[in-house]
Amino acid sequence: MAHIQAKLIAQDSSYQIGGKAFDLPGEVTTVELSNLVNKFLKEKHEDKAGEETDFKASEFDFLIDGEFLRTALNQYVEAKGLSTESVIPIEYLLKQEGPEPEDQFSEDDWISGVHCSEEFALVGSYDCGVTIRKLDDHDTRVQGFGHTEPVKSVSWISRKEDTFYAVSTSQDQSAIIWQWEKDNETMKPLFCCRGHSKSVDCVAVHPGKAEFVTGSWDASIKLWSASPTPQDDSNEPEDYQKARNKKKRQRIEQRGITRVPKITMAGHTEAVSDVVWLNDSELCSVSWDHTIRIWDINEAKEKTNLRGAKVFLACDYSQQNSLLATGNSDRHIRIWDPRNKSDIDSASLVKRNLSSHVGWVTCVKWSPVDSNQLLSGSLDCAVKLWDIRSPKTPLFDLEAHQDKVMCLDWSNRNVIMSGGADKFLYKFRYRSK
């Protein structure tokens, strides 16, 4: 395969070079293609300026049929079985700059949960505590203690002016709803949500309602009210005003008034490892029983059951592309389309299989603004930033942790955070496009 006919195309008008066809050597790489594009951009720049002026070359990535070119062109063409009889269109785009390490925070034990807002990071730890840190102030730290065993997950619920509400789950079989006044140095437990019989490992707050769901090692999923005020449906039997016993009052002050679940959904046969909302009424859960299940919350019943080959450890759903990402015990990240309910074969619902980790994938998070990008964290101590158009090679390896990665967050478009068993929370600045 000596030469290949190809046309170089850019969507961004500022980088277009006319869409002409080239007779390229088969061994050409992305570096050489970048040099070729820059050669024509320089000529275009000089023609426009009317004289030779300073030109700054750019690095480009190249896509063929929606997948990044990561080998020599002839190797890609042979691997994909593309015809060399016709001109191959190659799209090029400006190469993304990598995340920049910005800060690190130390906790007293393993960091198991993190969720960022615009200003603050909510952090859960194996020291049984929940911490709030200001993103731009290393020394600002607010703590809340109410759990009696390690915290497994955390999430912000809502904010009303300078009052924040959050939820944490724990191995002590409970979830706690917290209230934090911005000027206070401590968090106040409002409600202790009890109903699970084993460790509560995951939580997902409803995007539009005052509700959240939890998943547990008892294989069940429970829906709870996230309202900061006591409910009228007998969900708060230990009302503080009725608790005349001193020990009971102290327990309520430490952990909050007891709240019971609104509904319970059963179907999984092993631990529920992660949950995520798909829309206002549909919830997705993944489990150690090798299944992905989609639930109708309004009817409190299972709608879809997809079986995988290995244990599912994490999941996240992208509102940008309507795809589900899962982290698995076979070291792979799989991208699913849960909308295709008519397909009986679960394997055919997998749209991409991302492989680079050498340990179990413990957490996955989609970009909040880019439909192609997501993060993964693993027991191999690595955090990787992927573009699903490059399934074999991550865009960037975020090297920081010295022990297993346990949690990730990408809620703030420009901030990536990861926590792990090395007791460090790392912050990266990323200039999302």
What does the pLDDT look like over 47-63, one tens digit per residue? Answer: 776 665 678 899 999 99
User: Are residues 197 and 63 located together in one domain of the fold?
Assistant: no
Task: Work out how many domains the chain is built from and give that number.
Answer: 2
DSSP 346: G
What is the spatial distance between Cα 307 and Cα 292, in angstroms, rounded to a whole number?
6
Write down which residue in 58, 74, 94 finishes a domain. Answer: 94
Count of helix runs (H) and strand runs (E) in the chain: 3, 34
The pLDDT of 275-281, averaged and rounded, is 96
Report the b/e string of 166-187 with b at 16+ CB within 10 A.
Answer: bbbbbbbbbbbbbbbeeeeeeb
User: Are residues 108 and 84 located together in one domain of the fold?
Assistant: no
Single-letter amino acid code for the residue at 22 = F
Q: Please report, to the nearest 10 degrees, the dihedral formed by the alpha carbons of residues 298, 301, 305, 311 taken in order.
A: 100
pLDDT of residue 77: 92
CATH code where residue 73 lies: 3.10.20.90
Q: Please report, to the nearest 10 degrees, the dihedral formed by the alpha carbons of residues 67, 70, 74, 79 taken in order.
A: -60
Confidence band, pLDDT 50/70/90 cuts, at residue 343:
very low
CATH code where residue 329 lies: 2.130.10.10
Report the b/e string of 148-165 with b at 16+ CB within 10 A.
Answer: eebbbbbbbbebeeeebb
The pLDDT of 85-93, averaged and rounded, is 93
What does the pLDDT look like over 7-39, one tens digit per residue? Answer: 999 999 889 998 788 999 999 999 999 999 999
What does the pLDDT look like over 286-320, one tens digit per residue? Answer: 999 999 999 999 999 999 999 998 999 999 999 99
User: Are residues 131 and 207 located together in one domain of the fold?
Assistant: yes
**SS3 letters for 127-168?**
CCEEEEEECCCCCCEEEEECCCCCEEEEEEEEEECCEEEEEE
What does the pLDDT look like over 357-412, one tens digit per residue? Answer: 999 999 999 999 999 999 999 999 999 999 999 988 999 999 899 999 999 999 99
Among 130, 232, 234, 220, which Cα is nearest to 179's?
130
User: Are residues 110 and 239 located together in one domain of the fold?
Assistant: yes
Single-letter amino acid code for the residue at 274 = D
DSSP 210: S
The pLDDT of 333-349, averaged and rounded, is 72
User: Are residues 85 and 219 located together in one domain of the fold?
Assistant: no
Confidence band, pLDDT 50/70/90 cuts, at residue 45:
confident
pLDDT of residue 84: 85
User: Are residues 58 and 110 located together in one domain of the fold?
Assistant: no
The answer to whether the beta carbons of residues 364 and 376 sit under 8 Å apart is yes
Mean pLDDT check: name the lowest of 26-30, 40-44, 148-152: 40-44
Domain span at 79: 3-94
Query: Helix, strand or coil for residue 374?
Result: strand
User: Are residues 232 and 327 located together in one domain of the fold?
Assistant: yes
Q: What is the pTM of this model?
A: 0.89
User: Are residues 49 and 127 located together in one domain of the fold?
Assistant: no
User: Are residues 321 and 403 located together in one domain of the fold?
Assistant: yes
Residues of the chain with pLDDT > 70, as a percent, come to 91
User: Are residues 378 and 413 located together in one domain of the fold?
Assistant: yes
User: Are residues 83 and 113 located together in one domain of the fold?
Assistant: no
Write down which residue in 94, 111, 129 finishes a domain. Answer: 94
The answer to whether the beta carbons of residues 401 and 378 sit under 8 Å apart is no
Backbone angles phi, psi at 380, to 5 degrees: -80, 10
Write down which residue in 37, 68, 94 finishes a domain. Answer: 94
The answer to whether the beta carbons of residues 354 and 391 sit under 8 Å apart is yes
User: Are residues 74 and 133 located together in one domain of the fold?
Assistant: no
